[in-house]
A and B are shown apart, each in its own frame.
Chain A
Amino acid sequence: MRIGLFATCLGDTLFPDAVRATALLLARLGHEVVFPPEQTCCGQMHVNTGYQREPVPLVRNFAETFRDASLDAVVMPSGSCAGSVRHQHGIVAERYGDAALRSAVAEVGAKTYELSELLVDVLGVTDVGAYFPHRVTYHPTCHSLRMLRVGDKPLRLLRAVEGIDLVELEQADSCCGFGGTFALKNAGTSAAMLEDKMRHVRATGADVCTAGDSSCLMHIGGGLSRIKAGTRTLHLAQILAATRTAPHALTEAAR
């Protein structure tokens, strides 16, 4: 398949390893990865903070960039950005866009997937041939879980990884407290939620806490780093992209 890759603004700038892993994984599975350089940001931060006029150019840019009929699908290593594209772009277009934007948004939204959805639902794989001999725990990010309903797809992908020791995270489905600007506007509550999430992560004894969203991992990882917990965070794509021949290439760079 010819797959358009949306790096997300955060991934492109701060977490390129997660996006690189996504690209290499898809290439390894035999797909053509296309990166349209016109892409920028999905506008999730704007909409979630209460601004729907401001992100109109972002929504338009996304739709125009990925509408390309030669792309069979659009993928992004972020559940919340996929949720934004699929659910929020329509709201913005409905309110402040024209008919052309509304139809472009609907068209692109219908072929937009978060990574685990693309792999399991569209490409039909759960064993991607990864090798990752570490103890790993998985945090199912809220937007993947409840906005996209990815269900256990990420776990099915992880269970098929060779050498992995996958351990269950207590209260896995409770929010880590990031919530975009929530972490700034309600810093105290966010920190209290993070504290509990970190306690559960540490209790697993895992070397790595993984998730499908770099923003949640930035939050959890930032907290773990501050308390020098020794557990690192890695994007799901980085585990799925790791192989016997290149076990560390995609995981060490993130440190």
Chain B
Amino acid sequence: MSRAGTPQSTNTFLGMPARPPRVPYGEGNLRGEQAFPRAAAGELRNEQLRRNLGRATGTIRGKRIAVTAELPDWEELRDAGAAIKTDALARLPELLEELERRVTERGGTVHWARDGAEANEIVTRLVRATGSDEVIKVKSMATQEIGLNEHLEQAGITPWETDLAELIVQLGHDRPSHILVPAIHRNRDEIREIFLREIPGVDPGLDAVPEHLAAAARAYLREKFMTTRVAVSGANFGIAETGTLGVVESEGNGRMCLTLPETLITVMGIEKVLPRHQDLEVFLQLLPRSSTGERMNPYTSLWTGVTEGDGPQDFHLVLLDNGRTAALADSVGRQALNCIRCSACLNVCPVYERVGGHAYGSTYPGPIGAVLTPQLAGMHAAADDPNSSLPYASTLCGACYDACPVKIDIPSLLVELRHQKTEETGRSAERLAMRAAAAVMGRPRLWTAAQRTARLGRAVAGRDGTIGRLPRPLSGWSDTRDTPAPPAQTFRDWFASAEGAAALREAAREGERRSADGPAHGDDQQEDQ
């Protein structure tokens, strides 16, 4: 990266490879306050949250499977999506410069932001220059990531979120809990209470019927659309070939923001660039089907620079790095930048389903967040860095990989990031234990001796042959599960014994008797059809 990433460390010296900067500690919304297990513990106690999440993710999951199954070339589309993104990232500097050229040619202005702080300053300066003290916002992960709303508020500028779910989160003084459905953790009764409390002049008799809630938000937002002169958006795609930016959404609020104001400022992560306009064909099929389980999203807005007499007359594009080149520098981890923020991985993740998005402490929750966040913001060597716990917030069940429309191998990335984390941490009790285990398991004789020792576990087992509660660190396991005591004889001892040999001979003889008596095994092909 020519402009977005320059080495900042003072510890560099000649000959050392330049490492792109990660997001500075404590800036933006890419780091929580607690490690995942602790943050999750609080969420796990919230029964209402689990019910809300279970219902919502279950519904979206079902819809996604139905609409992806109806496309005969879904797998090919996924391959195409992965190939286009991989190609775009491989020539990112070239494509971004092309995008800058095209946007500029069409009357837009391009700004480069190394990190969230720079992006926030650029946006604030641009809003101030318009003389406005408020902006309407299209739902945007990039501006969430850098904490733009908080930054604008500090500068005396009021940001109005216009996406219904994002509005619920903003009015509730809450944090988003899902990439696509930020208020997924709220049910309609909670939303009604928030509206009654926060929307000025709302009908005090408002009930919790979804249509009525939506109508209340609509009336409230309509006024904002008509009176606000500046809009801030993100971008789902930026087309290098034409300088076109694109946003897909469901409610029409985005379309309003993108067309009504005089000034439009778009903050786009640099990984969102696509080479050609034609590439949209692939992503406009992959994205809505994977995210909302719809064949097509209701609103797709594409705009290129400024058009006289039509739409915003002043357009700015802020290209945001914020740790992306650091991720790109990782030959394994960079796959995570293929992400198109559809949230399919969240909806299929059994961990996300139990704990929700807040436990991840980042704008990007769920499986993709667990691989993206540590790469953008780093896993600091300090053992208590919450981001170091994110790669472990998975059972590696692989459901995310199967759901991902651009085939990001999230389980393998998690394993890789775990490895990077342990390499950075250096010596730890866990590493010593792992090393000791490997030392024993690497030597057959030591291993056999260790197995004998393990049989001492029989002494602590109850009469039913199971071991109950164990001391820390095993108590997390034994609080809810019994463990069988090791049997008196290992398999290897049985196999080596005369009894074992006799049993195997007898099994072989039984097999021979059967094949002599009746039809042989392996003739059951018909049954399979």
Chain A residues engaging chain B, CB cutoff 8 angstroms: 7, 9, 11-17, 19-20, 23-25, 27-30, 33, 35, 37-41, 43, 45-52, 54-58, 60-61, 88, 91, 123-129, 142-143, 145-147, 156, 160, 173-175, 177-194, 218-219, 221-223, 225-226, 243, 245, 253, 255
A30/B437 in contact, CB under 8 A:
no
Interface stretch of the complex, out of B9-17, B78-86, B350-358 = B350-358
Of B37, B402, B443, B484, which one neighbours A185 at CB under 8 angstroms? B37
Contact indicator B492/A218 (Cβ below 8 Å): no
A40 touches B521 (CB 8 A): no
User: A16–B491 contact, CB under 8 A?
Assistant: yes
Given A126-B528, A187-B479, is A143 in contact with B508 using a C-beta cutoff of 8 Å?
no
Asked whether, in the complex, the Cβ of A147 is within 8 Å of the Cβ of B490, the reply is no
The prevalent SS among residues of B at the interface is helix
- Residues of B in contact with A (beta carbons under 8 Å apart): 36-37, 40-41, 44, 50, 350-351, 354-355, 389, 391-399, 401-402, 411, 415, 417-422, 430-431, 434-435, 437-439, 441-444, 447, 451, 454, 464-466, 473-474, 476-477, 479-484, 486-487, 489-492, 494-496, 500, 503-505, 507-508, 510-512, 514-515, 521-522, 524, 527-528
A127 / chain B contacts, CB cutoff of 8 Å: 521, 524, 527
Q: Say which residue of B355, B482, B495, B504 sits within 8 Å of A189 (CB atoms).
A: B355
Closest residue on chain A to residue B465 by CB atoms: A255
Which chain A residues border B479 with CB–CB below 8 Å? 187, 191
- 20 additional A-B residue pairs with CB within 8 Å, beyond A30-B512, A47-B415, A183-B481: A16-B489, A28-B514, A37-B496, A41-B447, A43-B438, A45-B437, A51-B422, A57-B438, A61-B442, A91-B415, A123-B522, A126-B524, A142-B397, A146-B401, A175-B395, A183-B476, A185-B37, A188-B37, A191-B479, A222-B466
Of A14, A124, A145, A194, the residue contacting B522 (CB under 8 A) is A124
Please, which residues of chain A bring their CB within 8 A of the CB of B441?
9, 40-41, 43, 57-58, 61
Most buried by A among B438, B439, B466: B438
CA distance A24 to B503 in the complex (A): 7
Chain A residues closer than 8 Å to B50, beta-carbon distance: 192
Instruction: Give chain A nearest CB distance to B180 CB in angstroms.
Output: 20
* Chain A residues touching B, majority SS: helix
Could you tell me if B447 and A40 are in contact, using CB atoms closer than 8 angstroms? yes
CB-contact partner of B398 in A51, A142, A218, A226, under 8 A: A142
Task: Count chain B CB atoms within 10 A of each CB in A50, A54, A190, A221 and give the residue with the most.
Answer: A50
Shortest distance between the CB of A71 and any CB in chain B (Å): 16
Once bound together, how far apart are the Cα atoms of A226 and B394, in whole Å? 24
Contact B492 A7 (CB under 8 A): yes
Q: Are B481 and A35 in contact (CB under 8 A)?
A: no
Residues of A within 8 A of B464 (CB): 225
Q: Is the Cβ of A16 less than 8 Å from the Cβ of B466?
A: no
How distant is B58 from chain A, measured CB to nearest CB, in Å? 9
Q: Which of A184, A192, A193 contacts B473 (CB 8 A)?
A: A184
Closest Cβ of chain B to A45, distance in Å, is 7
Q: List 29 A-B contacts (CB under 8 A).
A: A12-B451, A14-B487, A17-B487, A20-B500, A24-B503, A37-B444, A38-B444, A49-B418, A54-B434, A58-B438, A61-B442, A129-B511, A129-B521, A142-B398, A146-B399, A160-B524, A174-B397, A175-B395, A186-B392, A187-B476, A188-B37, A188-B40, A188-B44, A188-B476, A191-B480, A192-B44, A192-B50, A192-B354, A222-B483
Bound form: Cα–Cα A193–B397 in Å: 12
Contact B490 A183 (CB under 8 A): no
Q: Once the chains are docked, how many angstroms separate the CA of A14 from the CA of B44?
A: 31
CB of B511 within 8 A of CB of A174, answer no
A194 and B44 CA atoms in complex are apart in Å by 13
Q: Which residues of B lie under 8 Å from residue A88 when comparing CB positions?
A: 415
Of the residues A37, A175, A184, A187, contact of B399 by C-beta under 8 Å: A175
Minimal Cβ-Cβ distance residue in B for A55: B438
Question: Are B511 and A186 interface neighbours, CB within 8 A?
Answer: no
Chain A residues lying within 8 Å of B37, measured Cβ to Cβ, are: 185-189
Which residue of A9, A27, A142, A253 contacts B395 across the interface (Cβ within 8 Å)?
A142
